[in-house]
Amino acid sequence: MTKNNDTKAGPVVSVMIPTFNRPQYLYHAVASVLRQSYRPLQVIVINDGGVDVGDIVSSFRDPRLMLIDRRENRGKAYSLNEALARAEGKYVAYLDDDDIYYPNHIETLVHALESETDCQVAYSDFYKTYCRELSDGSRQVLSKVVEVSRDFDRFFMLHFNHVLHVCLMHRRDLIERTGPYNEQLNVLIDWDMTRRLVFFSNFYHVREITGEYYHPMGECDRISVQRRKDKQNYLRNVLTIRTTCPPKPWEKIQDMSIIFVADRLNKQAGETIRSLWQHTFVPYKLYLPMPESDFHRLNTDMPNLIFEPVDPHSSQDQRIDAVLERCEDEYIAIVPDGFPIENVWIEGALYALINSPLDHQGFELKGSTDSLWAAVVKKEDLRHARKTYPHLPVRESLKAAGVALRHPEFKEMPFQFDNLLHQAQSAEKDGNWSEAARIFESIADHYQNEVWMTRLAAKAFFHAGERERAAELSRKVNQQWPTVDTLLLEAKLKRQAKDFNSALKLLTSAEQILSGPDALAYHHTNLSTQDSACKRI
């Protein structure tokens, strides 16, 4: 990447560092921000009711640094909102109190956002640093691994997160579109925000390692990790995130209306609706054309629910027609009562429809049959079909109007990358390294994420004993994007080939990354020598 050497000029970036009871690591987190090659920064440390960190912050004597010192513990989302209210930068970046940026982090992302793309969000890669915490407070680095280096995938981001917050930078004014951090959530706060960001912008992936986030071996004390252990609470948060959408208009996502057709709101219908709520991750509104007498039986806690009172004696087609006029969304799904609902139940057909190059297509849902027919179509196609052939059943009217209805083919389905990755990882687990290697290679060839997958393929080939291929791939990766893993792998192969000088060169590079100046080493002496008399900002 070509970078502008004049880093003094440029838009201000607000870096927000919420902290809670981890003063021993905060110093290095803040220091890593202040030593960025990119200088126009506003650094906001938010003490979320934890131990006093005033001395640590003031010891830097840097006018770019601000401390929000709150006594009450209100959580990360509240802290970030508090910081956002004071942020002045064009861009916003995030850092946890125990993680670090490499000196080029901000410069790399600003450069990407300012000159390489029209994206308003960019992210880089970080090392996950496995550490052993020693009794003196220091952290011994055991390994540094780039666990995820995934190219932006909007559909996946709706389902789950693949961009860590610490790697992220975005325009601050996007928050006006997304809304603030959701303070009702107590886990997955970061994903909730990145999920909302995907409604408005593509994300630019800078394939460069620009920092580290730490992971202690053994029991992890991170609040987010602890909270994930409560499965019910975790699932509740997931459902809240999936069913919350930012205000429209959305530039990058089109909404879907699901018309649920049932005679009555009985137990089975209730079960189907609940299942639908639990298993749908794309944005949707659920329309319920039902007799008014069922209205009071509705669970009003469910979001995105739109009730349409209809004549109790009306047919299913009449009910669909009744609600169709109200539907504003681009896509419409028709789902009958009792339809089997499982993971990715509706998204497969929707994904195929969104990506179909042909007009007048409709895709039947997985599990759809003649007697229990369900499909996703474009609103305009359905409206045209109903207007032109109101006397026909919905399915027949679509056909009569020239809308081709079919099940999606395998190649049209979403998450092929993830399914293949899962297959490869299962093969690894079973010791089928050759099979895993070939799957990784195939993914690299056909599903983006080439360097990441090639790195995994090299490792798998090595374990499979296919040394030549492992050497070829690890060399290829190290020329573009060296990581500790691939440097070590190529070094092992060089040593086996008795090329000791090359092996030493590679190993020395790996060792420098592992214990270089950015290694997560914390020394009490650093802190004790700080000027404790500095004034609090």
Q: How far is the CB of 484 from another protein (least distance, A)?
A: 6
Choose one: 20-28, 143-151, 256-264, 380-388; the region binding another protein (CB under 8 A). Answer: 143-151
Q: Report, in Å, the least distance between residue 491 CB and another protein.
A: 6
Q: Which is nearer to another protein, 389 or 447 (CB)?
A: 447
Contacts of another protein in 340-359 (CB under 8 A)? 343-344
**What part of residues 480-509 is at the interface with another protein (CB under 8 A)?**
484-485, 488, 491-492, 495, 500, 503-504, 507-508
β-strand pairing of 121-133 with 139-145:
antiparallel
User: What token pair was written down for 165?
Assistant: 């917050």
Task: Please name which of 386, 339, 388 lies closest in space to residue 365, comparing C-alpha atoms.
Answer: 339
**Is residue 147 part of the contact set for another protein (CB under 8 A)?**
yes
> Based on CB atoms, which residue is closest to another protein, 160 or 250?
160
Least distance (Å) between residue 202 CB and another protein = 22
- Tell me which residues in 148-167 interact with another protein (CB under 8 A): 148, 159-160, 162
> What is the rounded distance in angstroms from the CA atom of residue 114 to the CA atom of residue 11?
9
| Tokens found for residue 531 | 């000027």
Q: Quick check: 130 binds another protein (CB under 8 A)?
A: yes
19-28 burial code (b ≥16 CB/10 A, e <16): bbbbbbbbbb
Angle 189-197/76-86 helices, nearest 10 degrees? 50
In b/e form, how buried is each residue of 317-352, taking b as 16+ CB within 10 angstroms? bebbbbbbeebebebbbbbbbebebeebbbbbbbbb
Write down the least CB distance from residue 35 to another protein, Å. Answer: 24
SS3 at position 276: helix
Q: How many residues bind another protein (CB under 8 A)?
A: 39
217, 400, 404, 497: which one binds another protein (CB under 8 A): 217
Pairing verdict, β 375-378 and 361-364: antiparallel
Region near another protein per CB under 8 A, out of 137-145, 258-266, 375-383, 521-529: 137-145
Q: Please identify, using beta-carbon distances, which residue of 37 and 140 lies nearer to another protein.
A: 140
Which of 297/422 has CB closer to another protein? 422
For 332, residues 6+ apart whose C-beta sits below 8 A from its C-beta are 256, 257, 258, 259, 324, 376, 377, 378, 379, 382
Say if residues 36 and 106 touch (Cβ distance below 8 Å): yes
Instruction: Please measure the distance between the N-terminal and C-terminal CA atoms of the chain and give it in whole angstroms.
Output: 37
Of 295 and 500, CB closest to another protein: 500
- In terms of CB distance, is 266 or 419 closer to another protein? 419
Residue 100 CB partners (closer than 8 Å, separation 6+): 28, 29, 32, 211, 212, 518, 520
The least distance separating another protein from the CB of residue 522, rounded to whole angstroms, comes to 17
Looking at the Cβ atoms of 229 and 411, the one nearer to another protein is 229
3-state helix, strand, coil in the chain (%, to 5): 40, 20, 40
* Shortest CB 93 distance to another protein, Å: 23
What are phi and psi for residue 458, nearest 5 degrees?
A: -60, -45
Residue 507's alpha-carbon distances to 331, 367, 498, 504, 514, in angstroms, are 54, 54, 14, 5, 10
Q: Residue 453, interface with another protein (CB under 8 A)?
A: no
Task: Pick between residue 57 and residue 510 the one whose CB is nearest to another protein.
Answer: 510
Compute the least distance from the CB of residue 144 to another protein, in Å. Answer: 7
| Nearest distance from C-beta of residue 227 to another protein, angstroms | 11
402: left (phi over 0), alpha (psi -120 to 50) or beta: left
User: Given the complex with another protein, which of 316 and 448 has the nearer CB atom?
Assistant: 448
Interface mask toward another protein for 308-347; x: CB under 8 A: -----------------------------------xx---
Q: Which is nearer to another protein, 415 or 481 (CB)?
A: 415
Distance (Å, whole) CA 422 – CA 10: 42
* 191/168 Cα distance (integer angstroms): 11
For the bound state, the minimum distance from the C-beta of residue 238 to another protein, rounded and expressed in Å, comes to: 6
Q: Which stretch binds another protein (CB under 8 A): 99-107, 113-121, 145-153, 318-326?
A: 145-153
Helices (H), 59-178: 76-86, 105-111, 154-159, 174-178
* CA–CA dist 464, 434 (Å, integer): 5
For residue 469, the minimal CB distance to another protein (Å) is 21
Of 317 and 485, CB closest to another protein: 485
Window 383-442: residues binding another protein (CB under 8 A):
415, 418, 422, 425
Tokens of 182: 């959701």
Query: Is the Cβ of residue 343 or residue 529 nearer to another protein in the bound state?
Result: 343
Cβ–Cβ under 8 Å, residues 424 and 436: yes
State which of positions 26-55 bind another protein (CB under 8 A).
none
Per-residue binder mask for another protein (CB under 8 A), 235-274, x = binder: x--x------------------------------------
Which residue, 106 or 146, has its beta carbon nearer to another protein? 146
Asked whether the beta carbons of 320 and 347 are under 8 A apart, the reply is: no
Site residues for another protein per CB under 8 A? 130, 140-145, 147-148, 159-160, 162, 217, 228, 231, 234-235, 238, 343-344, 415, 418, 422, 425, 484-485, 488, 491-492, 495, 500, 503-504, 507-508, 510-511, 514-515
